[in-house]
Amino acid sequence: MRLDEGEQITKTPPHSHSRERFVATHLEQISDESKTALTLSESHSSPRDDYFAIVARATNDAVRDWNVKSGALSWPQGFDSLLGYDGSSTECDIGFWQKNVHPGDCARIAPSIRDALVGTSAHWSGEYRFRRADGTYINVLERSLILRAADGTPERLIGSLMDVTARKQLQDQLCRSQKMEAFGQLAGGVAHDFNNFLTTILGYGDLLLHERQIKGTLADHVTEIRAAAARASALTQQLLAFSRRQPLEPVIVEVNSIITNLERSLLRLIGENISVVCHLHHEKEGAHIKADPSQITQIILNLAVNARDAMPTGGQLTLETAIVDLTKETESPFQCGDFVPGEYVLINISDTGIGMNDEAKVHLFEPFFTTKADRERSGLGLATCYGIVHQSGGHLRVESEQGKGTTVQIYLPRVPAPPPPSYKRPTGKKPRGGTET
Ligand SMILES: Nc1ncnc2c1ncn2[C@@H]1O[C@H](COP(=O)(O)OP(=O)(O)OP(=O)(O)O)[C@@H](O)[C@H]1O
Ligand SMILES: [Mg+2]
């Protein structure tokens, strides 16, 4: 439908069924017109050009038109440009849309649309993931109009699907950062106070053990109390590390030296059925970081233990070091923490183990999150790594696929190599007035 000569768009009744039909009919035109490129000059040339069609196209949204009665579905806009499907596709019923909504969102979206249709509402909106032709999912915000017959029966649902993937990612990133920050504050506060109590228990435990009257079973009981308090104290240290309140002793170290130094402990830790492969960088000037070497060692060992646990029947553990230039990155490539562009030293730890499911991927850095039944496990390994790496100005990234394995990447800011130790050439002169001893 085109507006007749001289007809004003403003003539359309503003709040009525006829206005909604007017919009819907104009959206239909887009599918025909989208085949013809509309130049800016064309759009300027005639004020009678289809205003709504142009506005719809300006949004870059996909538009779906579902005939609720017959089940027919057409895509007046964005089927190819946003969703990547071939315009000549024969998929033209609602089954196509249903098939491509993410299975995790279907159970929420389908009843919500059904409720809107059986009610009296003229609109429905919702956010869900939709599969593009290349198999990837985008997050869409659909805002739709429900056209009804005079008796209220729904006839058509016309929705515009806006790609909100980037916004959703940013939102998730912010939420995760805030959640980790809140966890850190809580854990740090509790750990700090708790540690004071434990120091008292440990101190008095020691005093009791040194009392002469405390012998035999009584002494054993006090030793048990002391040991439990010591374990609790180790736990609070991990919590303090997570909340970035642990005192670090940073020095400038070369990353390869850290890996080579812990080779032995690593081999002892992971057992015989796992092979270890190291790919260390060959940078001439070295790759230096400013960090507490004992803490970085602790992180790598934690990650190696996780890798071992993920490969109960054997596999391969790969350690890599490299320099990554993130100087030109304007947006943070990491999920949490403040990102400063620059050069980073990367330590990659990968295994060929069982990998993680989606739930584990979401929670893995949270303190006390563990999927291991073992009572000894506190679920603090990765939380500690998170705290130490962030306290050292770095970032962690995890990629994992179930059945294939996991890669944990530690990014630490690269720092210049320290100046070589000063070396004084012996002068050969005897110090004046000195005596040899
Ligand atoms: N390499 C890995 N492969 C598969 N899953 C992993 C891997 N690393 C961590 N995970 C998952 O993340 C969870 C949390 O790991 P984290 O190291 O924090 O705790 P944990 O290993 O369970 O216990 P703890 O480290 O305190 O002994 C694990 O329980 C596991 O589900
Ligand atoms: Mg662990």
Tens-place pLDDT, residues 201-220: 999 999 999 988 888 898 99
Question: Is the same domain home to 219 and 325?
Answer: no
Whole-number Å distance between alpha carbons of 381 and 147:
55
Question: Is the same domain home to 270 and 350?
Answer: yes
- 216, 242, 268 - which closes a domain: 242
- 224, 242, 260 - which closes a domain: 242
Inside any domain, residue 433:
no
- Beta pairing, strands 343-351 & 137-148: unpaired
Question: Is the same domain home to 339 and 268?
Answer: yes
Name residues with Cβ closer than 5 Å to ligand 2, which is an ion.
306, 381
Question: Is the same domain home to 37 and 134?
Answer: yes
Name all residues whose Cβ lies below 6 A of ligand 1. Answer: 306-307, 310, 351, 353-356, 360, 364, 369-372, 377-383, 406
Alpha helices in 60-164 (DSSP H): 94-100, 103-118
Q: Which domain holds residue 187?
A: 169-242
Question: Is the same domain home to 209 and 255?
Answer: no
Alpha helices in 82-164 (DSSP H): 94-100, 103-118
Instruction: Read off the DSSP letter of residue 79.
Output: T
**177-181 long-range contacts, Cβ below 8 Å, gap at least 24?**
177/335, 177/336, 177/337, 179/366, 180/336, 180/365, 180/366, 180/386
> Which one of 301, 370, 384 would you pick to mutate in the ligand 1 pocket, going by the greatest count of ligand atoms within 8 A of its CB?
370
Question: Is the same domain home to 409 and 265?
Answer: yes
Please give the pLDDT value at position 51: 80
Q: What is the CA angle 95-84-116, rounded to 5?
A: 40
| Rounded-to-5 percentages of helix, strand, coil across the chain | 40, 20, 35
Question: Is the same domain home to 262 and 216?
Answer: no
Please give the pLDDT value at position 427: 64
Question: Is the same domain home to 218 and 315?
Answer: no
Q: Give tens-digit pLDDT for 55-78.
A: 778 888 999 999 999 999 999 999
CATH code of residue 120? 3.30.450.20
Please give the pLDDT value at position 305: 95
Inside any domain, residue 431:
no
Please give the pLDDT value at position 27: 56
* Look-up of token digits 């997050």: 139
Dump strand ranges (E) for 380-428.
Answer: 395-401, 405-415
CA distances 33 to 61, 88, 375, Å, are: 15, 15, 66
Whole-number Å distance between alpha carbons of 160 and 141:
8
Inside any domain, residue 111:
yes
Please give the pLDDT value at position 56: 77
Please give the pLDDT value at position 211: 86
Tell me the one-letter amino acid at 386: Y
CATH code of residue 346? 3.30.565.10
Question: Is the same domain home to 187 and 121?
Answer: no
Question: Is the same domain home to 158 and 189?
Answer: no
Report, as ranges of residue numbers, the positions in the chain whose pLDDT lies below 50.
Answer: 1-16, 34-43, 433-437
Question: Is the same domain home to 89 and 218?
Answer: no
> Which one of 300, 306, 348, 356 would you pick to mutate in the ligand 1 pocket, going by the greatest count of ligand atoms within 8 A of its CB?
306
- 97, 132, 163 - which closes a domain: 163
Whole-number Å distance between alpha carbons of 98 and 143:
17
Distance 381 CA to ligand 2 centre (A): 4
Count of the separate structural domains present in the chain: 3
Please give the pLDDT value at position 146: 97
